Amino acid sequence: MPSSAQKGAAPADAGNRGRAMVDSVISEVTTTRSLIEALGAPVVLLDGQGVALALSPGMRALVPGLETGKALALVLRDPDLNDAIEDVARDGGRKTVELVERVPFERAYRIHIAALEGTGRRATLLTFQDLSEQRVIERMRVDFVANASHELRTPLASLLGFVETLQGPARNDERARERFLAIMREQGLRMARLVDDLLSLSRIEQRAHVAPDTPVDLAGIAREIVDSLALLAREREVTLTLHTPREPLQVPGDRDELLRLMENLVENAIKYGKQGGEVTITVDAGEAEASFQVRDDGPGIAPEHLPRLTERFYRVDTAASREAGGTGLGLAIVKHIVLRHRGRLTIESKPGEGATFKAILPRLGAVGAG
């Protein structure tokens, strides 16, 4: 018959084993969370109900609204993804889903879903593979070939025609040679500008899913652009008027891209506005946003053209655009720079009342994770 000391020892041993098991589970969960939080790739661990138990820093950056203790389905409302997570949690195994987000810009992911060992509804581990850059590069190759072949065909045909003429009937005609060589030089420069703009647009699109975060002074860039385009404005007898805050106005951005954005907008206003008119450039600061606005007093733009102005190679007046040296890509470049900076572009115009182009960007410290 066991002694009273032995009778008291059994419950104590059971309690110790219970506490040891709890400590072991807590330790295992803590280790798993630490491991996931140390990973560079976007990874999230969900419990059997789809609630986030642990997230890697890459996952927090990818889906800013997701936190531990929050259901993934409340943040990523994709039916295919949520059905796949449900299936894996219930039946186990693995699944792969591709997710494409269209707003505010296109991003594509391949998501690997794997069930962890267990019975009943299982915890699942999701690993996100970003396919955005790969998709953009594939589309860029196709677009570049299509656009380049279409837009380069005319100047290239012109060059070949003049070369044949100089080699044949105008071989000894000095006046024709000088005139044709000048035209050939102009066509060659046009092709160079076109290739440069196509490459610039491709580079911007390739990085569209990565928001720039370097502090850039928007007011300082505006002053720099006005100085650099002063000669062009004098040639067109256009007055440039600049309004900027005295203090630096910083936005998270890519300085070279913002320079290109402002240059395109101001140069367009000078070229397509009224000769002898005025172009007003305004840099303004709001509480959470900053804006760069360019207004001309030119002939304005008809309403039916406004929605299509930022399309590649769309021109309101093709002849005037080519005469001014335009490639038809300037506003497409502006649009993609604004989108990459997580901003928005507005265009207001009426025939006979000029046009106003306004780029609105998040201020430094007010931008969410991209």
What would the 3-class secondary structure string for the chain be?
Answer: CCCHHHHHHHHHHHHHHHHHHHHHHHHHHHHHHHHHHCCCCCEEEECCCCEEEEECHHHHHHCCCCCCCCEHHHCCCCHHHHHHHHHHHHHCCEEEEEEEECCCCCEEEEEEEEECCCCCCCCEEEEEEECHHHHHHHHHHHHHHHHHHHHHHHHHHHHHHHHHHHHCCCCCCHHHHHHHHHHHHHHHHHHHHHHHHHHHHHHHHHCCCCCCCEEEEHHHHHHHHHHHCHHHHHHCCCEEEEECCCCCCEEEECHHHHHHHHHHHHHHHHHHCCCCCEEEEEEEECCCEEEEEEEECCCCCCHHHHHHCCCCCCCCCHHHHHHCCCCCCHHHHHHHHHHHCCCEEEEEECCCCCEEEEEEEECCCCCCCC
- Tens-place pLDDT, residues 82-97: 999 999 998 889 999 9
Strands 43-46 and 52-55: antiparallel
- Region for 33 from its dihedrals, namely left if φ exceeds 0, alpha if ψ lies in -120 to 50, beta otherwise: alpha
Under the banding of pLDDT at 50, 70 and 90, the label for residue 202 is confident
- Mean pLDDT computed over every residue of the chain: 83
- Tens-place pLDDT, residues 233-285: 999 999 999 999 988 899 999 999 999 999 999 999 998 888 889 999 999 99
Give the model's pLDDT for residue 11: 55
- Higher per-residue confidence, 170 vs 279: 279
- Higher per-residue confidence, 329 vs 4: 329
Q: Which residue has the tokens 């100047």?
A: 155
- Tens-place pLDDT, residues 135-157: 777 776 777 667 667 777 777 88
Tell me the sheet residues that pair with 109.
Answer: 99, 130
Instruction: Work out the average pLDDT over 331-339.
Output: 92
